[in-house]
Amino acid sequence: MNEDTPSGAANDSIRILQSVRRVAQCVEQHSKRLTATHKITSPQLVALLTIARLGPSTLKAIGGAIHLSPSTVVGIVDRLEEKLLVHRERDTRDRRNVYVSVTQAGRELVDNAPSALPQGFSSALGALPEHDRQTLVVVLEQFASLLEMKAPPGNF
């Protein structure tokens, strides 16, 4: 069967969706392990590491850096704040702006942070030839862009 045929594209779509599901399951399992061992989820850890890297940041800036909506970031930051890993502070010049910063406890976690990815992933990725790693990055970025594209009205 030709890959350019609709059935070939449909088969590719199914294989892609199955692979995405496998990735999502691995990420979810790792997040559960992080919660059990370090009392932080993968999204919380990624947000904390991002805030530490950016410095005091708005929720919008954090969301843009980690590709999450502001409402999702609010929930993550709320939980990080409950854990005393970050704190919010209003801008003294413009009280509408609120900045999120890492606390001392948050800095200690960042300095000793577990991997946000499953154990062994970094070494397995590092074992790939450079060309394969770069190809993987490009293909995943293209895939994300395809998913973000808006479907024409009336199409589901």
- Residue with more model confidence, 91 or 151: 91
The reply to whether 52 falls in a domain is yes
The reply to whether 90 falls in a domain is yes
The reply to whether 12 falls in a domain is yes
Looking at the fold, whether 6 and 60 belong to one and the same domain comes out as no
The reply to whether 153 falls in a domain is no
Give DSSP secondary structure letters for 62-110: HHHHHT--HHHHHHHHHHHHHTTSEEEEE-SS-TT-EEEEE-HHHHHHH
Looking at the fold, whether 70 and 131 belong to one and the same domain comes out as no
Model confidence pLDDT, tens digit, residues 101-128? 999 999 999 999 888 888 788 888 889 9
How many domains does the structure of the chain reveal?
3
With residues binned 3-state (H G I as helix, E B as strand, rest as coil), the percentages for the chain, rounded to 5, are 65, 5, 30
Question: According to the model, what pLDDT value does residue 1 have?
Answer: 46
CATH code for position 87: 1.10.10.10
Looking at the fold, whether 26 and 88 belong to one and the same domain comes out as no
Question: According to the model, what pLDDT value does residue 80 have?
Answer: 98
The reply to whether 155 falls in a domain is no
Looking at the fold, whether 54 and 98 belong to one and the same domain comes out as yes
Residue span of the structural domain in which 1 resides? 1-38
Retrieve residue 76's tokens: 């993550």
SS3 category, 57: strand
Looking at the fold, whether 48 and 100 belong to one and the same domain comes out as yes
Looking at the fold, whether 47 and 100 belong to one and the same domain comes out as yes
Question: According to the model, what pLDDT value does residue 72 have?
Answer: 93
Model confidence pLDDT, tens digit, residues 54-97? 999 999 999 999 999 888 999 999 999 999 999 999 988 888 88
* DSSP state at residue 149: S
The reply to whether 156 falls in a domain is no
Q: Is the pLDDT of residue 151 over 80?
A: no
Question: According to the model, what pLDDT value does residue 152 have?
Answer: 60
Looking at the fold, whether 27 and 64 belong to one and the same domain comes out as no
Model confidence pLDDT, tens digit, residues 4-43? 555 677 888 899 889 989 988 988 898 898 899 889 998 9
Question: According to the model, what pLDDT value does residue 63 have?
Answer: 94
- Residue with more model confidence, 156 or 104: 104
- Residue with more model confidence, 118 or 141: 141
Residue 49 pLDDT grade (very low, low, confident, very high; cuts 50, 70, 90): very high
The reply to whether 87 falls in a domain is yes
Question: According to the model, what pLDDT value does residue 6 have?
Answer: 57
